[in-house]
Structure 1
């Protein structure tokens, strides 16, 4: 995935936290200061996401327990969506439930069939505090649900069930993360 022009040369790559780090299991705090440090955080998040070849990244995945995520992914019609949401709320997750392979930068190398809704809407604000509403279908809807889950202290394996959950737990216990 290529970097958008705005992200070129900006941001510092930070290490992505792995499953087992307590920051991934803690609900994130709302952003209260819309300043240069928030801009740097978002730049660092994009740089870190691109370095890890991800489609989305939540702030807690780089050790910052704030309600922010960035994304660069396509929807089910192939349209590319690039952006960020501060203090996001998942206001809609509906439509068909699709069970497709999903992975996570915090659980590298693992992919499991994960149920997600085909449509999602997130509302929040941008880096300047201006309202934003992001709506997605297909893979982009999956991304929106995945990243908002991170900010609630969840990882995608929390929504698995049955054999997929058992397989994920075996992989984690076996040290494949």
Structure 2
């Protein structure tokens, strides 16, 4: 079992737009396996490749999330569509910002299209927690963190909390997304 270190806020790789996966080979299959093992060890809902230091458009999702009827455990080169304007607002956290949860507004429903590790097309129609997870992990692939989606009060709270954390980086940058 290969459990990798999860990068924390302040690491530059978390702020870079990831590159599309182009090779569906044994190296990619190993990366998917390592990403899934790291996710399962962490107990999270999802984990994007940049969070383990790999700037590729790939993320793992917990196959046991409610609504994940396909039991798909990874998604490569995702593209998202939103079938309606319905929103949800609820607690969200991130393995790269441990111990911090803030209400975050997301779309309630999502249609995600992408590829499997074999290069086969796949689609997930998700709502609620599954939709939140897919949007959160896709944000990571674009260099966006959930803290970037907070209002001014939320940003102030999170910066103060991060500054007090034992794992805190020297400097935290919030993006205007």
SS of the residue 1:123 aligns to: strand
The residue number in structure 2 matching 1:107 is: 97
Offset of residue 82 of structure 1: 3.7
The correspondence of residues 28-107 of structure 1 with structure 2, limited to 5 A, is 28-72=18-62, 73-75=64-66, 81-92=71-82, 94-107=84-97
The CA RMSD measured in Å over matched residues stands at 1.9
The residue number in structure 2 matching 1:4 is: none
Larger CA deviation: 121-130 vs 18-27: 121-130
Mark the runs of 5 or more structure 1 residues left unpaired by the alignment.
1-10
Cα distance between partner residues in 1 of 2:53 and 2:83 = 27
Aligned residues: 166
* Shift in CA distance, 54/16, structure 1 to aligned 2, threshold 3 Å: same
* Shift in CA distance, 79/122, structure 1 to aligned 2, threshold 3 Å: closer
SS of the residue 1:110 aligns to: strand
Offset of residue 163 of structure 1: 2.1
Instruction: Please tell me whether the aligned partners of residues 49 and 59 of structure 2 are also in contact (alpha carbons under 8 angstroms).
Output: yes
* Shift in CA distance, 165/94, structure 1 to aligned 2, threshold 3 Å: farther
- 1:97-156 CA deviation, whole Å, 9 max, x = no partner? 211010000000000011111111111111111111111100000001000000000111
For normalisation by structure 1, the TM-score amounts to: 0.87
Mark the runs of 5 or more structure 2 residues left unpaired by the alignment.
169-177
* Shift in CA distance, 93/25, structure 1 to aligned 2, threshold 3 Å: farther
Larger strand proportion of the pair: 1
For normalisation by structure 2, the TM-score amounts to: 0.87
